[in-house]
Amino acid sequence: MTTKPHRAGRREWTALAVLMLPLLLVSMDVSVLYFAVPAISAGLEPTGTQQLWIFDIYAFAVAGLLMTMGSAGDRVGRRRLLLIGATAFGAASLAAAYAQSAEMLIAARALLGIGGATLMPSTLALVRSLFPDARQRAQAIAIWSGVMTAGVALGSVLSGVLVEFFWWGSVFLVNLPAMVLLLVLGPVLLPESKDPAPGRFDWTGIPLSMAAVLPVVYGLKEIPSDGWHVRYVMAVTVGLLFAALFVHRQRTAASPMIPPALFRGGGFGPAVVLNLLTMFAMMGSAYFTTQYLQSVLGKSAMEAALWALVPSVPIGLAAPAATALVQRGVHSAHVVTAGFVCAAGGFGLLAFAGPDSLVLVLVACGVLASGVTMVMSQIMDLALGAAPVERAGSASSLMETGAEFGGALGMAVLGSVGTAVYRREMPDSAPAEAHETLGGALAVAGRLPERAGDALVTTAREAFTQGMQAAALAGAAVLAGAALLAAVTLRRAGVREEAETPDAGRADAVSPSGV
């Protein structure tokens, strides 16, 4: 006889609010330096290479350690790992805020990434533990998805506002009050949750997972700006080879980091792929729209940050609306498919943007983000519902790792499409620097006589916009394919394979006393 899952009460929903603190900060840290880099450059005077590492080391650390930390949480306890990560994140934020050199800031950002890698899978795994009831879990994950998506948008806005009125270190200090609150309330409100029989830790899998993830993410992140150079293609190739070794290890190890059983039912595999495609769309579009606001429309950092906040308004409605449709009887496969169609429509609108189309670009971004959030809320629910509660950390980490790959892939593929069109549209007579990027064209134009400079700026902005249009069409095609994939695979998988399983009876998996 199946035990009816325990329904969450006020305590669990309050605990969810506490969990949103680290999630919001970690997602914000992805973009918090977008508008702070010029101030950091003026204050610390980093070299070009150091500036890249200041920006990228956080994402590399998160991507490389997500699977390790997810597996660790299943073993040592997700609440314990969350609190350890919060402590590290807070300490690293303080160190970053008062860094006296570029080297110190790089090290602090690396520690922030390590802390972030513990926080993201822990929050999602604890949601799985707090809400064994399928309907309540769907509502909680809808909130989780909306907060994470909004956090990426808010990070850049927050950095623009803080740098306008304070010094650059303030973008890191905002993390401290939330982390202190988490450390105070977490032990009281959050139950401990872990695998009661985890087996031996897969120490061999740690270096293999990092060797699989880091070279691929590195290569994909560099391709949009520098092109398909041999070293980047080799990095991706090496990473894929290590990925094959990692998969082999997980299939043969007695206690694998990522249990192959996760992929044997419930649509978990399709959820990982579809989650990757949502981040492909989100980060691929952001690569162009942030440049469009500043370099094409000529907005200041502060203005661009505030305008970038507008598309995030409908995000708060998209995930709850998708969940409400499912709970009223609409099949999840249809909702996910509709979300991808909506996001593809956002890309389609972006393809009509001209060099002076602020409103159209903002509407396109809002439509795209709403579709992405609809998809994300449903496939996260699917993935966690399909995963046993004792493996929630591993499942969450794999979903997050797929998202990191998707974001890097989106910037690489769509960025390369846009760059190719930009270079094709720029006249051969343009200076070499202007022929490479829009930023280079604007820099060259500032050194030319007024009429020649204005002509170069106009040409470059039109070329960039045409590149964005081409990338938007490519993105729409990818998401149309994702909609078809979702319609087929999720329908076949029987998406709403919910845990009216005896989660509530798993006293060994979730202990309200925290033991």
DSSP per position, 170-216 = HHHHTHHHHHHHHHHHHHHHPPEE--SS--S--TTHHHHHHHHHHHH
**Count of other CB atoms within 10 angstroms of residue 108:** 23
pLDDT of residue 4: 58
* 404-423 confidence digits (pLDDT tens): 778 777 877 888 888 888 88
Residues 460, 425: Cα–Cα separation, whole Å = 8
Residues 414, 422: Cα–Cα separation, whole Å = 12
Residues 276, 399: Cα–Cα separation, whole Å = 8
pLDDT of residue 393: 67
Residues 462, 296: Cα–Cα separation, whole Å = 8
CA angle 274, 279, 280 (to 5 degrees): 90
* DSSP result, 430-497: S-HHHHH-HHHHHHHHTTS-HHHHHHHHHHHHHHHHHHHHHHHHHHHHHHHHHHHHHHHHHHHHTS--
Bridge partners for 511 per DSSP: 192
CA distances to 2, 23, 53, 267, 364 from 213, in Å: 40, 22, 17, 23, 31
pLDDT of residue 7: 72
With 0-12 CB in 10 A as exposed, 13-18 as middle and 19+ as buried, what is 492?
A: exposed
pLDDT confidence bin for 352, thresholds 50/70/90: very high
Which of 172-181, 190-199, 281-290 is predicted least confidently? 190-199
pLDDT of residue 389: 64
* pLDDT, mean over the chain: 77
329 or 496, greater pLDDT? 329
* 28-62 confidence digits (pLDDT tens): 766 667 666 667 777 777 776 676 677 777 777 87
102 or 75, greater pLDDT? 102
Residues 332, 374: Cα–Cα separation, whole Å = 10
Asked whether the beta carbons of 268 and 262 are under 8 A apart, the reply is yes
* DSSP result, 393-444: HHHHHHHHHHHHHHHHHHHHHHHHHHHHHHHHHS-TTS-HHHHH-HHHHHHH
> Token pair for residue 390?
């004792």
pLDDT of residue 317: 75
Question: In the predicted model, is pLDDT for residue 372 greater than 60?
Answer: yes
With 0-12 CB in 10 A as exposed, 13-18 as middle and 19+ as buried, what is 358?
A: middle
**Count of other CB atoms within 10 angstroms of residue 461:** 21
CA distances to 64, 324, 455, 457 from 430, in Å: 41, 54, 11, 11
Residues 206, 349: Cα–Cα separation, whole Å = 43
pLDDT confidence bin for 515, thresholds 50/70/90: very low
Tell me the percentage of the chain whose pLDDT exceeds 90: 7
